[in-house]
């Protein structure tokens, strides 16, 4: 996936969303080089709504890793760019 993002899309980063309660997944992604970029309030809905962490990994195009500097505030799902 990272190769596709790097070679085909020339992306600066890849990101994924993980439940704030899923500490095991967060640790696993950190081992793969991801870091927490921002918290997304109410990202998961349903009977037990929950926030998500947007975890990012800088790709080679982002030489100075500007894309993974954490935001200083949480965001709402409608603020996300797709």
- Predicted confidence (pLDDT) per residue in 23-46, tens digit: 999 999 999 999 999 999 999 998
Longest dimension (CA), the chain: 42
Q: pLDDT tens digits, residue range 49-68?
A: 999 999 999 999 999 999 99
- Among 29, 77, 18, which residue's Cα sits nearest to residue 57? 29
Which DSSP symbol is given to 18? Answer: E
- Report how far residue 55's alpha carbon sits from residue 25's, in angstroms, rounded to the nearest whole number: 11
């Amino acid at each position: 996936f990272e190769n596709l993002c790097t070679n085909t899309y020339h992306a600066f980063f890849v990101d994924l969303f993980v439940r704030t309660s899923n500490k095991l997944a967060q640790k696993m992604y950190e081992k793969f080089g991801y870091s927490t970029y921002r918290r997304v309030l109410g990202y998961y809905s349903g009977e037990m709504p929950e926030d998500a962490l947007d975890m990012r990994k800088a790709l080679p195009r982002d030489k100075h890793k500007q894309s993974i500097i954490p935001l200083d505030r949480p965001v709402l799902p409608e603020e996300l760019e797709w």
